[in-house]
Structure 1
Amino acid sequence: MKRFVRVIPYQINQQVNEVNEVPKGIELIQAPKIWPETKGEGVTIAVLDTGCDLDHPNLKDRIIGGKNFTDDDGGNPEIYNDYNGHGTHISGTIAASETNDGVVGVAPEANLLIVKVLNENGSGQHDWIIAGIHYAIEQRADIISMSLGGPDDNHELYEAIKLAVLNNILVVCAAGNDGDGNDRTDEFAYPGRYNEVICVGAINFERLSSDFTSSHDEIDLVAPGEEILSTYLNGEYAALSGTSMAAPHVSGALALIKVWANNYFGRELSEPELYAQLIKRTVPLGFSPKLEGNGVIYLTVLEHLEKVFDQEFVNMVLKDCSTKKSLI
């Protein structure tokens, strides 16, 4: 019996034809303040989703290739267009180009590898996703972003994710939208539950935990996930809500962190080292760790610490920052 994974359920709040702004979520995580140093140039993010609007004016210059693993278009691997909208929205939050119109992504000069593993209905077989992960590894992606999930723990999927991490690829997943507002109950979805992935929950623009965000002890951090404005089908734009919208904020943030950290340390950092750099750039919000993990991604937190406290205190804070719970 074939098991299916789907896009993490999400809500469309609004569709618009024309916009010209930096989305609020990208402002909230402080991405624009990092752009004078880096905009993610040279980093490749594989977006495993429903495909992408390849002609969207804010995305066409960011896409370096892709492949279709679904049954859309008769299974033609060369056609990875998006007929759903979810993948296009995710791609825009990660890396929409900085132009005079539309929106801009967290890492507006990063590369997008479009890996279509969910069909027009937002549904995908485990085999498609596993093949998509292997393709991302073969293409030497730096980051894999997956805003998808299902209830089944799949051994082959887990092994593919572990292989990606062994190849120094950061794997980012949405936590899920099955939350009941009670952090004492667990709502699990795979692959977000796997320890090796970076699992992202959602908050709103007031930095309050989203009612829908799933809670469990594998949440690593949170990012904006309500009324997130990004690219959409037919060159348009839409505001969507869900942990699906939170995860790409972290994928884009990792592209910025990777360029900065590699330049600062003068070498390529490993996956666990980059994870540590990510967690150092979170701020606790006061919610249960099952809801917020280490807190919200805030890219300039270290700069603020250095301005307010002496270096000895900063070093103490960094030493106490959480690191990956376990590694392969």
Structure 2
Amino acid sequence: MTTPTAPALTWSLRGRSPDEIPVAADGRRITPEWAWGGSTGRGVRVCVVDSGVERDHPLVGRVDGSYVVLKDEDGIRVEPTGTGDTCGHGTACAGIIRRTAPDCELYSVRVLGERFSGTGDVLLAGLRWAVEQRFDVINLSLSTTRARFTDALHTLSDEAYFGRTAIVASAHNTPVESFPWRFSSVISVGSHQEDDPDLFLYNPQPPVEFFAPGQNVTVPWLGGATIRTTGNSFATPYIAGLCARVLAKHPNLTTFQLKSALYLAASNVTVSSRGAE
């Protein structure tokens, strides 16, 4: 006789409600108020590795530094750039971070071209550069399915983790193998369909660890405009913004402690009275 298994929750939370994934935890309850209450992310450096960010977008505001990964016959390098966003994706992510952590420092590394085009080696180079700059939080609403980049991405993700740089990585929108969100050294994010714009959930059936608002959400786009769109890409910067707020309030947290604080503050996690304070 086979035991029925629950529907997979790995890539996104669709067709199920938060009440269907309760999680019991022992120990002290870390509340949102303790974790990020009163914090605006001030002093925390957040880097968006994406398609660039449109400068002066009213829903993004100041961009403290913009860079681009260039690939030509001389190799791959990262340089400062005055250009903006090639396709809107990075601006959308930056706007969500700004809305969530309005006083964080915001940086951009462009690794995507027009029509969301990009390569694994350019993505790797941009992420490596961001890790080397020791940003506090890196938002990576991108992934690669190319297996040949897996080892390098894994090593880089571990380096970031132990260096107190939190890589917040988006799960693929479809159930395929892609990286680096699959690695335990990053904070991986999928989306839920709930209306509450501040609701985030812990996933009791990883590898995706958290679900955040990312379905039918309003985001900034090119030309100072906004659009409504859906995708794990747009849930990820919400968690990145929360990370910025937590680190602004508790600057000595390691990435492990940051991830644990998010877990214990998730709306579907309840702490038993045993051992609680």
- Class of the TM-score when normalised by the shorter of the 2 chains: 0.7 to 0.9
| 1:66 paired residue number | 66
Amino acid in structure 1 at the alignment position of 2:114: E
What is the CA-CA distance between 1:206 and the residue it aligns to?
Answer: 4.6
> Are 1:77 and 2:71 counterparts?
no
Q: 1:132 to 1:31 in 2, by over 3 A?
A: farther
What is the CA-CA distance between 1:195 and the residue it aligns to?
Answer: 1.7
| 1:4 paired residue number | none
TM-score (ref. length: structure 1):
0.64
What is the CA-CA distance between 1:57 and the residue it aligns to?
Answer: 2.4
Shift >4 Å, 4+ stretches: 30-36
Distance 1:254 1:205 in 2: 21
**1:121-160 superposed matches below 5 A:** 121-153=115-147, 154=149, 155-160=151-156
- Residue by residue, what CA displacement relative to the aligned partner does 1:95-149 show, whole Å, maximum 9, x if unpaired? 1xxxxxxxxx111111111011111221222222222122212322101111112
What is the CA-CA distance between 1:31 and the residue it aligns to?
Answer: 8.6
Indicate conservation of the 8 Å contact 1:168/1:270, yes or no.
yes
> Are 1:116 and 2:110 counterparts?
yes
Distance 2:275 2:64 in 1: 40
- Residue by residue, what CA displacement relative to the aligned partner does 1:153-203 show, whole Å, maximum 9, x if unpaired? 321222222211121111111111115xxxxxxx33211111211111110
Indicate conservation of the 8 Å contact 1:106/1:252, yes or no.
yes
Distance 2:205 2:71 in 1: 33
- Residue by residue, what CA displacement relative to the aligned partner does 1:55-108 show, whole Å, maximum 9, x if unpaired? 2123232x1102100469xx983334112000000000011xxxxxxxxx1111
Distance 2:61 2:100 in 1: 16
Q: 1:76 to 1:165 in 2, by over 3 A?
A: closer
| 2:226 paired residue number | 237
Amino acid in structure 1 at the alignment position of 2:57: H
| 2:41 paired residue number | 40
What is the CA-CA distance between 1:33 and the residue it aligns to?
Answer: 11
Distance 2:184 2:118 in 1: 22
| 1:21 paired residue number | none
Cα RMSD of the aligned pairs, angstroms, is 3.0
Indicate conservation of the 8 Å contact 1:133/1:161, yes or no.
no
Q: 1:134 to 1:76 in 2, by over 3 A?
A: closer
What is the CA-CA distance between 1:35 and the residue it aligns to?
Answer: 7.8
- Residue by residue, what CA displacement relative to the aligned partner does 1:211-236 show, whole Å, maximum 9, x if unpaired? xxxx9731111001111112111111
- Residue by residue, what CA displacement relative to the aligned partner does 1:304-328 show, whole Å, maximum 9, x if unpaired? x8xxxxxx82854x9xxxxxxxxxx
Amino acid in structure 1 at the alignment position of 2:127: I
| 2:189 paired residue number | 200
Amino acid in structure 2 at the alignment position of 1:280: L
- Larger relative contact order (Cα-Cα within 8 Å, sequence gap ≥ 6): 2
| 2:89 paired residue number | 86
**1:168-247 superposed matches below 5 A:** 168-179=164-175, 187-206=176-195, 217-247=206-236
Distance 1:232 1:33 in 2: 33
Within the candidate set 263, 268, 274, 1:279 is matched to: 263
Q: 1:234 to 1:131 in 2, by over 3 A?
A: same
Task: Could you tell me which runs of 5 or more consecutive residues in structure 1 were left unpaired when the two chains were aligned.
Answer: 1-29, 96-104, 180-186, 208-214, 263-267, 285-294, 296-300, 306-311, 319-328
| 1:20 paired residue number | none
What is the CA-CA distance between 1:260 and the residue it aligns to?
Answer: 2.2
Identity of aligned pairs, percent? Answer: 27
Distance 1:138 1:31 in 2: 30
Indicate conservation of the 8 Å contact 1:70/1:118, yes or no.
no
